[in-house]
Amino acid sequence: MQWHYLYDIHIKLLNEYKNRFTEQEFVISTDPETKQEYVDAVLTKLKAIFPNAKYTFYKNDKQLRESKYFYDEIAMKLDQLDDRWYFFGHAKGVDSHYAPGDLCKMWVIGMYYMNLNYPEKILEDMNKPQTCVIGTYLMTNFKPWSWLTFRWHYSGTFFWFHPKHILNVMKEHNTSFPQNNRYFSESCWGSCIPDDDLYRKPALGKYDAQWRNKFNWMDPADREKAMSFLN
């Protein structure tokens, strides 16, 4: 492990939207190759922004990555979580070798921006009693994984979720989570929540593969604001 340029983007955006949350928990996942100096650097930067946050240390799996914690501590414990909305994000892009640097930066910025820049729009969907999840880069009519029950997922894995609403829908439709795998955190909701606007919502707006083209899916004012985080 070494310091990654995307850490700075994530920290910059967390600082921008630090007032969006009533409580915060950061999970510091490490493996035997993790260098303590980088863990300490991340903690120092995070604690300067979120001094009252909870910091959890977790032994990670290099293959499962963020899916290990998500499966063990969130999906398998939905019935133990409070009756409220949660936001989940991760260090997206740090190990995304399939995408060039500028694309990764824009992808990360877009996920924060769309989920957090317009809280009143997110709250509008949250206040609808059957809304289960709200997230960015909603991909529909697309089944990239064989275990995906319904043809949709949030590409990039940044979303809001409500445990009680999810469990109610899973019970109603008799669905369940697949076994854990590398893409579990990205595909889990599409495995148990129908592809229906009633249950799953896109953050900010609907978009297609053209989001990859320098935020051209955004209105000009939003695009200018989002692009400012590249500097």
CB contact at 8 A, 207 and 135: no
The arithmetic mean of pLDDT across residues 130-138, rounded, is: 94
The arithmetic mean of pLDDT across residues 139-150, rounded, is: 89
The Cα–Cα gap between 214 and 227 comes to 8
Degrees to nearest 5, angle at CA 104 with 217 and 85: 70
In this model, does residue 116 exceed pLDDT 60? yes
In Å, what is the CA distance from 224 to each residue of 55, 118, 204, 230?
Answer: 33, 15, 15, 10
In this model, does residue 81 exceed pLDDT 90? yes
Residue 34: its pLDDT value, please? 83
Q: Which amino acid is at 157?
A: T
Question: Comparing 93-97, 157-161, 197-201, which segment has the lowest mean pLDDT?
Answer: 93-97
pTM, full prediction: 0.91
Mean pLDDT (the chain, rounded): 88
In this model, does residue 164 exceed pLDDT 90? yes
The Cα–Cα gap between 184 and 5 comes to 26
Beta bridge partners of 30: 59
Half-sphere exposure of 180 (CA within 13 A, CB side): 15
The arithmetic mean of pLDDT across residues 73-81, rounded, is: 98
Residue 95: its pLDDT value, please? 65
Residue 225: its pLDDT value, please? 85
Share of the chain above pLDDT 70, in %: 89
CB contact at 8 A, 158 and 115: yes
The arithmetic mean of pLDDT across residues 135-147, rounded, is: 88
In this model, does residue 12 exceed pLDDT 90? yes
Domain ranges within the chain, ordered by starting residue: 5-230
In Å, what is the CA distance from 121 to each residue of 62, 99, 118?
Answer: 36, 30, 6
Helices (H) and strands (E) counted in the chain, each on its own, are: 8, 8
In this model, does residue 184 exceed pLDDT 60? yes
Residue 110: its pLDDT value, please? 87
Degrees to nearest 5, angle at CA 128 with 122 and 129: 130
CB contact at 8 A, 161 and 229: no
